[in-house]
Amino acid sequence: MSGTGPAPGPRAGFDAALEAALAEAARTGESGDVPVGAVVLDPAGAVIGTGHNEREATGDPTAHAEVLALRGAAEHLGGWRLTGCTLAVTLEPCTMCAGAAVLARVARVVYGARDPKAGAAGSLWDVMRDRRLNHRPEVIPPDLVSEAVADRCGAVLKSFFAHRRFR
């Protein structure tokens, strides 16, 4: 035993993906959009799609961070099958986004904050692990990423909603 402490777990690399998603979330700026960001990584770990919420900015009800990141990844790869890819998002996907991840055939979905009101990756619904579907991505919830990154994902959202309540 070397005494250097435990080796990082196999999911330690997902913190960097969530950091990239947090940077995307910051791009919502003053648009009024909920600051959620997402990135898609190819099987080698390179970012091939990014997105942040743009519903308010564009008037598009489907302009969720995850959908935009999946669209960008599909464009990058030249097809809709995102086999082997990872979707990392700051907030647990809703039913629409969870369904999009399933239909895109992503290998895994990593998220940094739970959404007890609309989460479809285990909080309110569990769309991605529904055995009736033909594809089920691995789901990596906040308790399987570093506490610091998960806390930051939650803090961005708490700050946004606290600020909106006092306007």
The answer to whether the annotation marks 85 as part of a ligand binding site is: no
The model's pLDDT over 64-92, given as tens digits with 9 standing for 90+, comes to: 999 999 999 999 999 999 999 999 999 99
How far apart (Å, rounded) are the C-alpha atoms in residues 88 and 91? Answer: 9
Is 94 within any annotated ligand binding site? Answer: yes
Question: Which of 66, 75, 92, 138 is an active site residue?
Answer: 66
Return the number of other C-beta atoms located less than 10 Å from residue 64's C-beta. 26
Query: Domain segments of the chain: what residues?
Result: 10-162
Task: Quote the DSSP letter at residue 166.
Answer: T
Task: Please state, in angstroms and rounded to a whole number, the distance separating the CA atoms of residues 162 and 154.
Answer: 12
- b/e per residue 102-124 (b: at least 16 CB within 10 A): bebebbbbbbbbbbeeebbbbbb
Predicted TM-score (pTM) of this structure: 0.91
Query: Which has the closest alpha carbon to 48: 20, 12, 29?
Result: 20
Any catalytic annotation for residue 54? no
Q: Give the per-residue pLDDT at 165.
A: 64
10-162 CATH pick, 3.20.20.70, 3.40.140.10, 3.30.70.3270, 3.40.50.2000? 3.40.140.10
Bigger pLDDT: 92 vs 4: 92
Give me the pLDDT at residue 1, please: 35
Rg (C-alpha) for the chain, rounded Å, is 16
Is pLDDT above 60 for 167? no
Known binder of ligand: residue 135? no
